[in-house]
Structure 1
Amino acid sequence: MNSFANPVLRGFNPDPSILRVGRDFYIATSTFEWFPGVQIHHSRDLVHWRLASRPLSRASQLDMRGNPDSCGVWAPDLTYADGRFWLVYTDVKRYGLTTVNGAHGASMRDFHNYLVVAPNIDGPWSDPVHLNSSGFDPALFHDDDGRCWLLNMLWDHRPDRGRFGGIVLQEIDKETLRLKGERRLIYRGTERGFTEGPHLYKRDGWYHLLVAEGGTGWNHAVVMARSRSIGGPYETHPDGAVLTAAGRQEGAITRAGHGDLVELEDGSPWLAYLCGRPLPGLARCPLGRETAIQPMRWDEDGWLRSVTPGAQPDPNPPLPSLPPCPWPEQPWDGQFAPGPLPDDLQWLRSPDSGRLWSLDARPHWLRLYGRESIKSHFEQALVARRFQHFRFTASTCIDFDPAHFQQNAGLVCYYNSTKFYYLHLTRDTGGRELRIMSAIPGTGAHDSLVASELPAGPIELCAEVDHQWLRFGWRAKGADAWEWAPQRLDVSVLSDEVSLPGYPNFTGAFVAMACQDLSGAGRHADFAWFRYDARDDAPDQSGSATEMRAVESR
């Protein structure tokens, strides 16, 4: 029987919202602090996907300077109605608990929910309309009577209320795109707790509410409830979760939850959901939360159920009954040209990219302007791509002449401002040198010298990742052999599962080019190319950064 390999969107691509318009399928995923905001991928067979749009690309739509790690854009929801695409999303401005004398007090967080619309998936996308700030994970439901409704989870900051207050519903005025009427609490969730990620569907006179529960770690789950009335009351699915890998910290697909349904033209339901792939023998997922998809079924009692036994996620689902539609392979060759950044790359937080990087200042080079520190939440010159494989080599060629120790540039394996390994070129009193700066939860920050008195001119740098381990190398431009740093670094810490207490961790690892100038002079570094070469033991399942190939099971 023919099958394909999950996940279909590899590397950090969480919280999928899936949509079908005719024969075209779209998945929108969260981008958190990475700019531009929201990734929308496009497919015609549910197997092969390509990046179609990053809609939040202007300062008027999104400015995340100052947003803490793992805040920013959460859980976008993509729908289509009245001849246009609708996208709602949360911009999280604060995350954390208030602690008094060691006890948790009010959990004050700031979530702002917005709506943008566009005539086409690649835009132009409108400026945002603020909807509310009562919680996160907004989603739209377009009813068959023409009315439009907003759902979101309700945040309860009071210390004795459990924070996750249930799912609320409120109508949207389709002319003004603003809320009207009063919000209604329609579902409090189950004993799993952490009820979030709502989506609503209508089938055979029933309103079916899908939510994520159990937290976004090992006990994550997709749960459903239904009602004859949109306002409830909602009856919870008799089987409990309709998809979960609860408690399982090993296996091909774990952490399954936060799903969304789509129906093929023949009416068959498929569920897109987030998942994690732990390193073999180690309960850590440096590739982040990824997106998988698998078939479901509607049973005679009107409830949705998984095709797999025990509501388990399927690492190799059967191919859908759709004509295969692979996209032409157009992998980026790692060279830089004038214009926008290649689709593989994003940067942190700031909509003012001109202060961070340029592809025009030096033709066929990427210029990074040294800004704030590698730990900054405001203005970092850091351009990155996702980890998408357990084994890969990333390399670049850097031309950088620092004047002193406050000017640094190089290659970094980065999760957030508290977790990274940074091979950087700087200058001490004796000349240019290479150092490795590390930030690891539980062990603090470290800085070690790996090479000194480097010759003038461009230097090539590389990061070689092999499952749990990372090593850095360097060589003069055009040299044959790499010189390797003596340290073997534990790259598995660049995952959600390793964190400082109280810090959110919901993203994934990136490998990046970076430049800092802590003197404020804006010293720049130029990068001639940036390559990412996968070395997975298993057959490569991504022809480009966003494409998957079908494989035959035997």
Structure 2
Amino acid sequence: MAVTFTNPILPGFNPDPSICRVGKDYYIATSTFEWYPGVQIHHSTDLVNWRLIRRPLERPEQLDMRGNPDSCGIWAPCLSHAQGRFWLIYTDMKRYEGHFKDGLNYLVSAPSIEGPWSDPVFLNASGFDPSLFHDDDGRHWLLNLKWDYRQAAGPDRFGGIVLQEYDIEAQALTGPIHTIFAGTDMKLTEGPHLYRRDGWYHLLVAEGGTGYGHAVTMARSRSITGPYELHPDNPVLTSRGDEGLALQRAGHADLIDTPAGETWLVHLCGRPLPGTQRSPLGRETALQRARWDDAGWLRLATGGNAPAAELAAPNGAPPRPPAREERHAFDTATLPMAFQWLRTPYPERLFSLTERPGYLRLFGRQSPGSWFEQALVARRRDAFVCAAETTLEFAPEDYQQCAGLIAYYNRFKFHYLAVTRDASGQRVLTILSCADNWPSGDLDFPLASPVVLDEATPLRLGLTMDGASLRFRYAEGTGEWQPIGPTLDAGMLSDEGAGRAHGYFTGTFLGMAAHDISGRGLPADFSAFRYIRSDADAAGNDSLRG
């Protein structure tokens, strides 16, 4: 009986995959948007089981996203290997809405995946989704979408794929800029990658937008600068028009060959909650087996162009399920790999693991949703049924200071179980929600009466998420867990939950936060964080439910 694996291979917010292979080692880079450090790199030796090993953009010289709007920051990195080095191209998007997009494209490199990663080389700012192609003749080429601000809102702002040579020695682009591909009738042409095979240059692009019309199309040419002829059966991969598929939004792909010569395709996907178009886990990464037909065109090995949720594993590699439970005691000097923070390259302003050993100390900074300096440390939600718990010691001085457990998507979408002070000066536990209130950003207070707390007792805070529902709970000291507040909408913590014409691009994060809008920087101490995944995502009973 064949060993199978189930997509996605990178569950939770891991979009825009770029894959490369060095010997028997595979690496996937994915977008991180406003979350710091920038770019997630996972490693595998079998294409099925992956481990997060590095986030290379970790210094102010490489990345500073303070002031970047929601879902800006790191867009669509491209990871490659040539001449004994790893090359990482990325966009730092500074503006998303309106006619203009300010996307700054950079290149860093390293002798190994662990680094050291270089300071960045600025490339251009003509558009986003840059990709570096290393040709067989030793030349190197940069591709990216060219943005056309002159057009009315819509797909015509995607002005085609451009190509320019990159001189590695001079660390500069050189020569003419070629527009090599205008796209198909699906439009919204982005995410380019080039491959050389059997005398052809194969161009792979994403089209149709990153929502439910997303797709992968291809074209090829004998010359790198074109003209490119379209694949006879575009799109090569898509979920559009089939709501019954488990994997929706399929697109933004990359190709890799195994040492045995098999071709596999990694791609972006989303798994909406049943009966909805809301994907609170964000855009994820899936894997499809591909083949080259007799005419030299790429096709899915399963036939057709729909993404498969389950496939035979490469070389029969058995998938290893993630640990059901993760515990973090904050007993090291560095933040556990599971966690990230927002925007700033100066984390010492936000938190410390050494000021009080055994605790993660957050320094209260700007308000929830700040684009500059927000003390929020969180990890991805990567299961439909999951739970999170933390233990907090915090003595607020007034209502402008709060700290607690947060389920966060962006500044307009979060649920926050927070300790603060009420009008009479009592230490209380309350819920602050911003339930998709764009553009007003109005704050909801779904708890009718805040819970009055003991002044000194540590507080345990918890939440359980089951599909589109979220319930908070709390316990004082070693006491029993007590439910607090109503069932909240967890589905709106998603790209599609945006109350606006556009979507966003990230996913739900669960973590710890401290805010002090008085500017006094009052600290909050967290002694532990626990994350539990459920195996009963689709049906059945589970201890997290109920």
Q: Do they fold alike, i.e. is TM over 0.5?
A: yes
Q: Structure 1 residue 140 and structure 2 residue 132: aligned? A: yes
Give, in angstroms, the shift of residue 159 of structure 1: 2.6
Q: Give 2:465's aligned residue.
A: 465
Aligned to 2:402: 408
* Within-5 A mapping of 1:325-336: 332-336=326-330
Asked if structure 1 preserves the Cα contact closer than 8 Å seen for 2:87 and 2:110, the reply is yes
Cα gap change, 1:488 to 1:326, in 2 (>3 Å): closer
Matched, 1:281 2:279: no
Q: Secondary structure at the match of 2:255?
A: strand
Amino acid at match of 1:520: G
DSSP 3-state at the match of 2:443: strand
Query: 2:241 matched to 1:247?
Result: yes
**Is 1:45–1:324's contact at 8 Å kept on the other side of the alignment?**
no
Question: Within 5 A, what are the aligned runs for 1:443-454?
Answer: 444-449=442-447, 450-454=449-453
- For structure 2, the 5+ residue unaligned runs are 540-546
| CA deviation after TM superposition for structure 1 residue 130, in Å | 0.3
| 1:171 alignment partner, one of 165, 187, 191 | 165
Q: Which residue of 1 aligns with 2:542?
A: none
Quote the offset at 1:332 in angstroms.
Answer: 4.5
1:86 equivalent to 2:96? Answer no
Q: Which residue of structure 2 lines up, in the alignment, with residue 261 of structure 1?
A: 255
- Do the aligned partners of residues 395 and 329 (structure 1) sit closer, same or farther apart at CA in structure 2, a change above 3 Å counting? closer
Q: Offset at 1:199?
A: 0.3
> Which residue in 1 is equivalent to 2:226?
232
Q: CA deviation at 1:126?
A: 0.2
Correspondence for 1:543: none
How far apart, CA to CA, are the structure 2 residues paired with 1:266 and 1:309? 21
Structure 1 residue 501, shift from structure 2 partner: 2.1
**TM alignment of 1:331-350, pairs within 5 A:** 332-350=326-344
Q: Which amino acid letter does the alignment assign opposite residue 292 of structure 2?
A: W
TM-score under structure 2 normalisation? 0.94
Q: 1:81 to 1:2 in 2, by over 3 A?
A: same
Partner of 2:14: 13
Which position in structure 2 is the counterpart of 1:77?
A: 78
- Amino acid across the alignment from 1:533: I
* 1:157 paired residue number: 149
Amino acid at match of 1:446: D
SS of 2:419 mapped into structure 1: strand
Task: Tell me the residue number matched to 1:436.
Answer: 431
CA distance in 1, matches of 2:183, 2:324: 44
Q: Provide, for residues 266-293 of structure 1, a one-character-per-residue CA deviation record: whole Å limited to 9, x for no partner.
A: 2111000010011122221000000001
1:333 Cα deviation after fit: 2.2
Aligned equivalents of 1:23 and 1:328: distance in 2?
22
- For residues 66 and 490 of structure 1, the distance between their equivalents in structure 2, rounded to whole angstroms, comes to 28
CA deviation map 1:62-93 (0-9, x unaligned):
00000000000000000000000000000000
Following superposition, the deviation at residue 482 of structure 1 comes to: 1.5
Size of the alignment, in residue pairs? Answer: 530
1:230 counterpart letter in structure 2: I
- Distance in 2 (CA, whole Å) between partners of 1:361 and 1:327 is 36
What residue identity is the alignment partner of 2:388? A
Which consecutive aligned stretches of 4+ in structure 1 deviate over 6 angstroms post-superposition? 325-331
Q: Is the 8 A contact 1:112 1:132 kept in 2?
A: yes
Unaligned runs of 5+ in 1: 98-106, 541-554
Instruction: Answer yes or no: is 1:359 the counterpart of 2:353.
Output: yes
CA contact (8 A) 1:96 1:502 kept: no
**Distance of 1:503 and 1:292 partners within structure 2:** 24
CA distance in 2, matches of 1:326, 1:497: 30
Find out whether 1:485 has 2:484 as its counterpart.
yes
RCO higher in structure (CA 8 A, sep ≥6): 1
Q: Provide the residue aligned with 1:517 in structure 2.
A: 516
Query: What does residue 130 of structure 1 align with?
Result: 122
Cα distance, 1:538 vs structure 2? 4.9
CA contact (8 A) 1:49 1:327 kept: no
CA distance in 2, matches of 1:477, 1:502: 45
Aligned position for 2:206? 212
User: 173-182 or 65-74: which moved more?
Assistant: 173-182
What TM-score, normalized to structure 1?
Answer: 0.93
